[in-house]
């Protein structure tokens, strides 16, 4: 599960031990972060208890891990679901200009078919033109405080006869919400060993640090609004601590996850999707 060089892990451990005493996070939390760094650097062979949970970069022990979460436990979900018609109306206005969508940066996970995205926010980047085309959707996204500390907000589309192979997200510090917008029959996703499907106007919340895959076996395109948000067991002071650590990781490594993904998006903006992927 090693994601960084051992020397880099040692540097991060020293960095944490230097700035941790000047913060208000608990010593127990600092110990968990140190453990995560040791695992990421291959200094500790410990793996997550859940055998199908293998985040690519960073695993913070002690956070509740389950493939799917009850969406109703998050107070902003009813507000998002109530905005379904508004969001779908703005989405459908894009159908005459599908060039606004681009290939998903991890399109290599698709053996056949098309996986497309329409970006609102990515890391520190706001896609101003896209947001201007969907102003009400953008306002709703920006009103969800839990999502503001996470990078990814976009429309995600699976064309007919598309399957995304099993993969894991970068870390277990977030959860992922899909609001169903255009959901034909014969679509679904597996997270861990659990299989669910989407429903229009309803949110599906899952932990993408588990192995997960999705498919569309229908003759119509499936589209959801995707929002990442901070794991509910992380306090704001702990999120600030982790952000400071992540900034140091980015300073050390030019190929950090977020920079890679932004660069992939910019590259794919110059690539056209197949014709008639939205049917």
Q: Which CATH number characterizes residue 100's domain? A: 2.60.120.330
Is the per-residue pLDDT at 202 higher than 90? yes
Is the per-residue pLDDT at 266 higher than 60? no
171-201 residue pLDDT tens: 999 999 999 999 999 999 999 999 999 999 9
In a domain, 189, yes or no: yes
Report the pLDDT averaged over residues 154-177. 96
In a domain, 93, yes or no: yes
In a domain, 38, yes or no: no
Q: How confident is the model at residue 220 (pLDDT cuts 50, 70, 90)?
A: very high
In a domain, 244, yes or no: no
16-60 residue pLDDT tens: 999 999 999 999 999 999 999 999 999 999 889 999 999 998 999
In a domain, 146, yes or no: yes
pLDDT at 272: 67
Please tell me the total count of domains within the chain. Answer: 1
In a domain, 150, yes or no: yes
Higher pLDDT, 147 or 265: 147
pLDDT at 270: 46
49-103 residue pLDDT tens: 999 999 998 999 999 999 999 999 999 999 999 999 999 999 999 998 878 898 9
pLDDT at 4: 84
pLDDT at 97: 83
pLDDT at 265: 56
In a domain, 196, yes or no: yes
In a domain, 138, yes or no: yes
Could you write out the three-class secondary structure of the chain? CCCCCHHHHHHHHHHHHHHHHHCCCCHHHHHHHHHHHHHHCCCCCCCCCCCCECCCCECCCCCCCCCEECHHHCCCHHHHHHCHHHHHHHHHHHHHHHHHCEECCCHHHECCCCEEEEEEEECCEECHHHHHHCHHHHHHHHCCHHHCCCCCEEEEEECCCEEEEEECCCECCEEEEEEEEECCCCEEEEECCEEECCCCCCEEEECCCECEEEEECCCCCEEEEEEEEECCCCCHHHHHHHHHHHHHHHHHCCCCHHHHHHHHHHHHCCCCCCCCCCC
Q: Which domain holds residue 86?
A: 68-231+259-268
pLDDT at 227: 96
């Amino acid at each position: 599960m090693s994601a960084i060089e051992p020397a880099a892990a040692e540097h991060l451990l020293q960095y944490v031990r230097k700035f941790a005493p000047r913060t208000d996070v608990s010593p127990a939390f600092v110990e968990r972060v140190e453990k995560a760094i040791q695992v990421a650097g291959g200094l500790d062979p410990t793996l997550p208890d859940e055998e199908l949970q293998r985040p690519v970069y960073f695993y913070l022990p002690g956070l509740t891990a389950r493939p799917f979460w009850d969406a109703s436990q998050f107070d902003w979900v009813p507000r998002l679901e109530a905005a379904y018609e508004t969001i779908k109306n703005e989405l459908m206005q894009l159908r005459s200009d599908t060039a606004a969508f681009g290939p998903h940066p991890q399109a290599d996970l698709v053996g056949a078919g098309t996986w497309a995205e329409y970006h609102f926010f990515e890391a520190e980047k706001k896609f101003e033109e896209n947001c201007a085309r969907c102003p009400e959707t953008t306002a709703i996204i920006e009103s969800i405080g839990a999502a503001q500390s996470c990078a990814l907000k976009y429309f995600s589309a699976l064309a007919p006869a598309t399957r995304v192979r099993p993969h894991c997200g970068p870390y277990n510090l977030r959860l992922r919400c899909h609001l169903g917008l255009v959901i034909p029959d014969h679509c679904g996703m597996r997270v861990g060993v659990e299989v669910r499907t989407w429903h229009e106007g309803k949110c599906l919340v899952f932990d993408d640090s588990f192995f997960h895959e999705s498919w569309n076996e229908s003759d119509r395109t499936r589209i959801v609004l995707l929002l990442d948000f901070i794991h509910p067991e992380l306090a704001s002071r702990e999120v600030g601590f982790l952000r400071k650590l992540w900034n140091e990781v980015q300073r050390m490594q030019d190929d950090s996850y977020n920079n890679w993904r932004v660069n992939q998006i910019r590259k794919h903006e110059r690539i056209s999707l197949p014709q008639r992927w939205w049917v």
